[in-house]
Each structure stands twice: as C-alpha cells, then as structure tokens.
Amino acid sequence: MDWQSFLCGGCPPSVYYIPNFITPQEESLILSTVERTPKPRWTQLAHRRLINFGGLPHPKGMIAEEIPSWLLTYVDRVNQLTGVFEENRKANHVLVNEYLPGEGIMAHLDGPLFYPTITTISCGSHTVLEFQEPRGSDDVEVKLERRLVTKILVQPRSLLILKDAMYEKYLHSIDEINEDTIDDDIANLSSDGSIKKGDVLARAKRISLTIRHVPKTSKMKIKLF
C-alpha cells in the first residue's frame, strides 16, 4: 500500500488518513478479543482505561514483552507500510485505549520515549482528534494558551499516521463529550462522502490500537501469553 498517497490536506503536513485499513470482520475480532482481556491487565485512569502490549515504556528502557499473536497481525501490517517508521525501524509496542462516550484525553505530546511517528487503528466508534499549537515561551501560564490548528475525523477501521511536526510540535486531544458536531475545522471531511458539515455524530465505545516504535529497549524479553 502506498500510504504516502493518503496525505491529509487542509492541515499541517505529515498527517496521513487511510479509511478501511482493516475489515469489519477484523474490527469485530479486535473488539471481542479486547472485551475478553482480564481486568488485571487494564490500567484504569480517571477518564479511560488502557493496556500496554510489548512492554511499559520507560526513560531507562522498555523491558520487552512478547506481543500476543492476535495483535501481531496488525503490527505486521503497519510494519509492511514501507518507510512509515523510516531507518528500517519496526513497531514494537501497542497501546490499547478504551474510550466510552463522554471520555477523552487532554492535550498532550507523546514525547521522546517513542520514535516520532504514531499509527492508530480505530474500532467501534468514530472520534474527533483536535490539534493545538502551544503559544508563548517557557513560562507555564503562557504555555497554557493554545491555538486550534485542525481537527481530524477518525472513523472506525481507519489508520491514522502522524509524523514529524504533527508528532513533535502540535498537541493532540479528544474532547470529553458524547457527540461531535461536524464543522469547518475538520480537515479530512472530503474523504468520507457520507458525512457532511452540520452532522451530529453520537459516540459509542471506541477501542484504539496505537502502534509505535520504542527505540530504547532491554535485551531481556518477557513472555506473558
């Protein structure tokens, strides 16, 4: 697949949005498998819960864990997108996030623990990802001021790729709301002819698989499955 042909216009460069990257059958399998994951594997946060597969990223290095076979299918598919991580790097970590309606994530950067590329498969529901540009200097109060740069409508079964400046410069977030009103700030609206400006989309439970490369890992490998 020529993933670079899916460059998203109308926003800063290095956003790639690929609809229907997985099939409805694969989506159903992912949702049912995640649903059966034992509760102790989940980390419960204030506004969502998550699972790390491949290890727990740490500044001193991630102790590698084997990624279960059902997930390796999608890790391998991302790795087959030639050059997506560049420098012959391969994805070695998957973060599974569960978002219920009304849940989201505050504006943030993913930081230096990861190679500056995010690839995310979405299942179950759409969401709207917002990108903001910090304003000001090192002053904390000034840095809290942000300017909305763009929004991306992320549909189920899609793959979203963020690279370079979109990873390193612009904060991304998901509003904690139950429905999204489609407006002019959505950069990729033309990629989905079934959605138009003014539509109101109700959220359902969404499972995202964020597939990344962690450069610093331990040679020790732990098998959990």
Instruction: Work out the pLDDT band at 219, boundaries 50, 70, 90.
Output: low
Distance CA 211, CA 214 (A): 10
Distance CA 53, CA 114 (A): 14
Report yes or no: 156 and 122 within 8 Å, Cβ to Cβ. Answer: yes
pLDDT at 146: 80
pTM: 0.91
Instruction: Work out the pLDDT band at 135, boundaries 50, 70, 90.
Output: confident
pLDDT at 218: 78
Report yes or no: 54 and 67 within 8 Å, Cβ to Cβ. Answer: yes
pLDDT at 222: 52
**Token digits of residue 158:** 């899609």
Report yes or no: 117 and 90 within 8 Å, Cβ to Cβ. Answer: no
